[in-house]
Structure 1
């Protein structure tokens, strides 16, 4: 989850006093890094994935599932058995926001050879087995995006009550502070977001209106001091803490590019895929024990860390704050970084003009300067006493302090000081899937996509305002089948057309779109699988690329197996995790068609999820029938 400094955390009033210092030295640190490595070329193509897990206890006797708050102990045990004694251990473990969460990554990044794709699922399996081996009896490791009863009474083991009126960091009506990782960064972020904002965060997710769901759906909160009553919207599921967003799990991929220019090009191109892949990986339809009308977690996380004041949100005139800020610090990107993307930067970009000028004067080009000046309109949220005065030539904590708390769909990552790591980009919108097979399929799909984009110099750019519209559509219930997404019609235009684009690529698109426009509305099926006369399709492009590459039989079979899953998900032949979970709940004998997920429904759902993840039960409607699965 970004920078994990150690030391004595400062409260918001103390942090605020040092905000300008952090920004000033953060920019100096960025400039020092940039000037040292801006001309660096020919870095090796490397990449890696991050999978987040939840620790849960299956209470078979009482038919109840609880999240186990022993992530710190599990993490320390895993590190002691692994990286602490062997720097080349195949897995790495890191803390995450929830004290019931851990994050696993490969011990070493994957390289640029195709055969690496054959090892991804195997490594994910190692992670799952390794972590499972140190759990207590009845405990298990879940790769689900959102725990359906997160925030319901007794959802943790041991059980803790929230403390909305007492001294605490979140003051949530539903989420106890004990469910937050004990590392001071996480509680400091939680408290300082609330203090900076001037009130608790407000998350409202539209409820799914079933046959017996009250209409209007309005909740009463007994311990509310009035704040929830003002914030909660009718017909919405109300949540009030960072844990409801950052306590979800995701799947991310980071790529090392061969140069800064390649990293910027990849950043832009992949940004257009964020909403598409988010809808394709949709896996989070339930919140706080209710069925929602959303399939993805993105908007929930965005609201859960929204530290903007009323002035910054445009609800009051600017008086104490410098900027009107249009989005939460967890949201879609606000500007493209490559020269190809400049003409598509059509959304208002708030930036710190002084920092922007400083960067331009230091020789940074306009596009990169405005990106950094935009990130730096934010305040630092977590600062440690021991980390205020740093060596700007050899440290980057102040830069990373701001950078790592701008949680956007894509992240552009300069190399750490004095390291052999190159310029990287991080792809961040994916929801975590139930099985290692599915998670591997999504990771390999994205990595292959980057290879095709770079090899054929493809151009998927559309106006950023359209990407933002796509992000809204992608989160809706059944967006995969029902949503229409803006997407570029001809991705070969102005590039090296090594792949033969179909002769009909520019004809036969929807009649409402002018011939002169470069993009049109498409279904995800069309985008991924192609449609005669509209778009060639990503899977056909990837297959064409594979045919031109030397790939051993084993690896080719593995890749095609993964692409088959993506293809069938996109066409609707296989369900998304979100749709599968909805159908499970709808058919459950205890479900009363009232949008409520009881402990028993939750238990039966997650027990089935656990069996599928462990390979003890097949699920052809979700996964199909893959062959040659990694062991």
Structure 2
């Protein structure tokens, strides 16, 4: 969710005059971080995951399911539950999200390096849902916490569970479909980031999503609620609110490296995988009650998170605040940064030249050693610092605490790239250099989410152990993300992937070839299997569990098992109430969401998503 600090959020008009001052504070803190932590050495490689959940209410008599605006009620209870936890049950950190139907759950302690931690991930994910479900069930047997990346009829009809539906148009965005009451009331950051983004961009977003054309879909299809607006397009769904994107849920995985050098290496090798893992995790084929021609939330995030002014949008050198990772960070990969982007050269100069200068008098020779930041990393931050702060808390503006990195962390956390490079905070000596892997849609089941998370964790170990080099030009990595959105991209698209050695050649490959291998590349899953076979101290339960996870990934890549998006699309198109017109009605949504709830809670099965024999024996604590 980002940095949450109590206080009064400044308006955009109040922020504009202090933008440069704020950035100077943030830069000063970044310099201090680098001076203090550049030589940080951790004991082991740590990692963790973040899950964003959706709260819903079922009305079984009317066959209706709606979003439940109750996060502000249950979050204090969840926080208190984990404060009172004194047994061996792992504690969970619960956080608010932008919308009041969303909550985020994160393990309080990171997973360790030992293989046995891999067998705790799924159990921990189940624990998180169980904690929230127990509180919801105290008041109603119709309220559920679910894993859903995008609520199918979000923004359409009476999609909010409430006793009144007469205030659908309110003042923050003047949206046709997304009312203010969706915004979480828990912290001023939530509403402030929306209001200030709108003010900076000089108007609300208008997102265009291509309709899925079925046999009875009107031609041209017209989203009549936007007919007559200047950006209206035939054959597209229109979304007119930041909340349309920020109301989506995702799975994020964060890795803490043992050193800065190792962290930069992990970042650069994960960057080419953002599009690949986005395709494998696709879970969003329905938008505002229509089947569309995209399968992921990420393009919607790109557009709704765009706070650029009209003039800035005319430039190709400044992307949306939510966009693919802009740069490789290691100097040896700088030649692959083939897209020109805006950079604050003063920031780059400060970071590269700042450091300790030592001169040694050896007879008449003088040697000056400069220990500033590596150039590529400095350019990454130079690009970050062209952004204005979106949220400024009045009481925290003029911090004089040398141990705080609040301003930098706040600026860094309001740029939502597919990867986030996270330096250690100044006030926590246990925290190291981290990489946050951000593209994946959340999956329906804990098993799927654990499979994706554990696969990524194992892949980082393969990268570090074998010195794997997956880097391709940034332009190709960006193109992969574009292709990943396309309908059924796992089975029908090809993606740029590195197949050469030192020459760094890339070619177009299917997801199946990338994951399972071909005659030019061993495949990511066989490389992970090789690593596991060479590893010691992996117990039988863990090996069995990981084997099931890799089997899911392998079969999904091969098209034997479906992505969540493909399964959802298939469910809708085979529903008896579906009229082949691309419309997902309340009844279809109800049956879909109830099926998902039953599958997630183990009361139903879905062989097209997860084969029935994939039953893991996971534990809350490593054994």
Query: CA 1:517–1:401 in 2, change beyond 3 Å: closer, same or farther?
Result: closer
Contact 2:337 2:473 in 1 (8 A): yes
Contact 2:348 2:379 in 1 (8 A): yes
Determine helix, strand or coil for the equivalent of 2:111: coil
- From 333, 336, 351, the counterpart of 2:343: 351
- From 319, 329, 336, the counterpart of 1:327: 319
Return the offset for 1:154.
Answer: 1.3
Query: CA 1:517–1:450 in 2, change beyond 3 Å: closer, same or farther?
Result: closer
Contact 1:153 1:161 in 2 (8 A): no
1:406 lines up with 2:410 in the alignment: no
Determine helix, strand or coil for the equivalent of 2:609: helix
Give me the whole-angstrom Cα distance separating, in 2, the residues matched to 1:354 and 1:86: 51
Query: CA 1:162–1:377 in 2, change beyond 3 Å: closer, same or farther?
Result: farther
Determine helix, strand or coil for the equivalent of 1:379: coil
Determine helix, strand or coil for the equivalent of 1:124: helix
- From 489, 505, 509, the counterpart of 1:479: 489
1:204 lines up with 2:208 in the alignment: yes
Q: Which aligned runs of 4 or more in structure 1 are off by greater than 6 angstroms?
A: none
Query: CA 1:372–1:517 in 2, change beyond 3 Å: closer, same or farther?
Result: closer
Deviations 1:88-133 (A, max 9, x none): 8522211111100111111211100000011111111111111100
Deviations 1:445-479 (A, max 9, x none): 00000011011111000111100110100011010
The 10-residue stretch of structure 1 (38-47 or 584-593) with the greater mean CA deviation from structure 2: 38-47
Give the number of aligned pairs: 593
- From 386, 389, 394, the counterpart of 2:398: 389
TM-score scaled to structure 1, two decimals? 0.92
Deviations 1:533-564 (A, max 9, x none): 22110111111111101111111111001000
Give me the whole-angstrom Cα distance separating, in 1, the residues matched to 2:23 and 2:158: 42
Give me the whole-angstrom Cα distance separating, in 1, the residues matched to 2:195 and 2:168: 13
1:179 lines up with 2:174 in the alignment: no
1:424 lines up with 2:434 in the alignment: yes
Return the offset for 1:627.
Answer: 2.9
Contact 2:471 2:504 in 1 (8 A): no
Return the offset for 1:300.
Answer: 0.1
Give me the whole-angstrom Cα distance separating, in 2, the residues matched to 1:375 and 1:171: 30
What value does the CA root-mean-square deviation take over the aligned residues? 1.6
Deviations 1:280-339 (A, max 9, x none): 011001111111100011010111111001100017xxxxxxxx6431111101110013
Return the offset for 1:161.
Answer: 4.8
Return the offset for 1:162.
Answer: 5.4
Contact 2:422 2:433 in 1 (8 A): yes
Q: Which residue of 2 aligns with 1:580?
A: 567
Contact 1:308 1:325 in 2 (8 A): no
Contact 1:161 1:176 in 2 (8 A): no
Q: Which residue of 1 aligns with 2:279?
A: 279
Q: Which residue of 1 aligns with 2:525?
A: 539
Determine helix, strand or coil for the equivalent of 1:133: helix
Contact 2:498 2:504 in 1 (8 A): no
1:554 lines up with 2:541 in the alignment: yes
Give me the whole-angstrom Cα distance separating, in 1, the residues matched to 2:121 and 2:253: 12
Give me the whole-angstrom Cα distance separating, in 2, the residues matched to 1:628 and 1:473: 33
1:147 lines up with 2:151 in the alignment: yes
Query: CA 1:86–1:309 in 2, change beyond 3 Å: closer, same or farther?
Result: farther
Contact 2:285 2:294 in 1 (8 A): yes
Contact 2:256 2:434 in 1 (8 A): yes
- From 562, 582, 598, the counterpart of 2:585: 598
1:219 lines up with 2:219 in the alignment: no
Deviations 1:370-421 (A, max 9, x none): 1001011111111111111012521112112221111001111000113121
Q: Which residue of 1 aligns with 2:515?
A: 528
Query: CA 1:23–1:238 in 2, change beyond 3 Å: closer, same or farther?
Result: same
Q: Which residue of 1 aligns with 2:448?
A: 438
Determine helix, strand or coil for the equivalent of 1:394: coil
Contact 2:514 2:524 in 1 (8 A): yes
TM alignment of 1:433-512, pairs within 5 A:
433-490=443-500, 493=501
Give me the whole-angstrom Cα distance separating, in 2, the residues matched to 1:615 and 1:357: 56
- From 350, 361, 365, the counterpart of 2:353: 361
Q: Which residue of 1 aligns with 2:333?
A: 341
Query: CA 1:78–1:347 in 2, change beyond 3 Å: closer, same or farther?
Result: same
Determine helix, strand or coil for the equivalent of 1:520: strand
Can you give the 5+ residue segments of structure 1 that lack an aligned partner in the other structure? 316-323, 495-515
TM-score scaled to structure 2, two decimals? 0.93
Determine helix, strand or coil for the equivalent of 1:14: helix
